[in-house]
Structure 1
Amino acid sequence: MTAPKTQRRGRAIAMTDDERDAFLAEERTVRVATNGTHGPHATPLWFHWDGSAMWLTSLVRAQRWADLEKDPRIGAVVDAGHDYDQLRGVEIRGRVEPVGEIPRTGEPNPELERVEQAFADKYTGGHVVIDGRHAWLRLTPEKISSWDFRKLPGARQQPGT
């Protein structure tokens, strides 16, 4: 696996790897954009970040899945904040690949055990849900960009930051 491209712009407000990993662990929704036949298609999803890849679960009978079968390139953004000097986020660009059976029926898969449990811990109270309609996609980053406007000179600091 090739390392993602280094962020060139906005490095002064970029998150460190540890800050990025903590941010992605706490945030719950990613917006992904695929390349459809009629232009970009953007949708929100739940996700799991394992420190090197973003794991997405998608309905296999969705426009997103059809788009990705034709073109596996994807853009993903997780962001937070309300006021300008509190905005922060991560953008990941790369390619996805399906992992496991399509749709996921629960066949043993050591690569998915850790991912499914981490996903369940984050979203479903620790209960792994396999519904026979979704499948797993691994987004391998080609480029990661991040920003944390709280690092701007004069930004208000939140308690505990």
Structure 2
Amino acid sequence: MSVTDQQRRGRRIMMSSEELDAFLTEQRTCRVATVGSDGAPHVGALWFCWDGQALWLYSITRSKRWAQLRRDPRIAVVVDDGEEYMELRGVELTGEAVSVGEAPRTGEVCPELTAPERLFAAKYFGLDHMPHDERHAWLRLTPQSVVSWDFRKI
């Protein structure tokens, strides 16, 4: 298969913006890759929410991930689904993670967190307000690159 054929196939299986929004809204777990001080990657699972523009990650502030992102904000996140090959679909988002609000989060007023906390609380806790455990804080990834695939389109 030539590079041109691969690119055409890639365009055929990529998600539309509506499909991408629906997929990122409904999925519950993502895998987050960060860069260690030695250059080695570190990958871990996290809960997240998508607001249509940014991926919001709720991370423990005493984690390896948090320490690595404070030193080097580059991040890659994969959200995927499917068991059989022809069911596979997913999204890879890359960019830089930005801490938003206090860390750890205690619930201080932060207008930028109103929407993500409402989305997250409803998605994971069935609540209309965000419980704060003073161990987690928010990271925002406004992706610089988004790659998606949906093998059901093949």
Give the TM-score normalised by the residue count of structure 2. 0.91
Counterpart position of 2:3: none
Asked if residue 86 in structure 1 is aligned to residue 87 in structure 2, the reply is yes
**Unmatched tracts of structure 2, length 5 or more:** 1-5
Query: What is the root-mean-square deviation in Å for CA atoms of aligned residues?
Result: 1.1
Q: Which amino acid aligns with 1:137?
A: L
Instruction: Give the 3-state SS of the residue equivalent to 1:131 in structure 2.
Output: coil
Alignment of 1:21-100 (within 5 A): 21-38=21-38, 39-100=40-101
Q: Which has the higher helix share?
A: 2
Of all paired residues, the percent bearing the same amino acid is: 57
Does structure 1 residue 12 correspond to structure 2 residue 3? no
Secondary structure at the residue paired with 1:19?
helix
Q: Which residue of 2 aligns with 1:148?
A: 150
Provide runs of 4+ in structure 1 moved above 4 Å: none
Segments of structure 1 that go 5 or more residues without pairing to the other structure are 1-7, 153-161
Q: Structure 2 CA distance, aligned partners of 1:60 and 1:77?
A: 21
**Distance (Å, rounded) in 1 between the aligned partners of 2:149 and 2:63:** 31
Alignment length (residue pairs): 145
3-state secondary structure, aligned to 1:117? helix
Q: CA deviation at 1:128?
A: 1.5
AA partner of residue 34 (structure 2): T
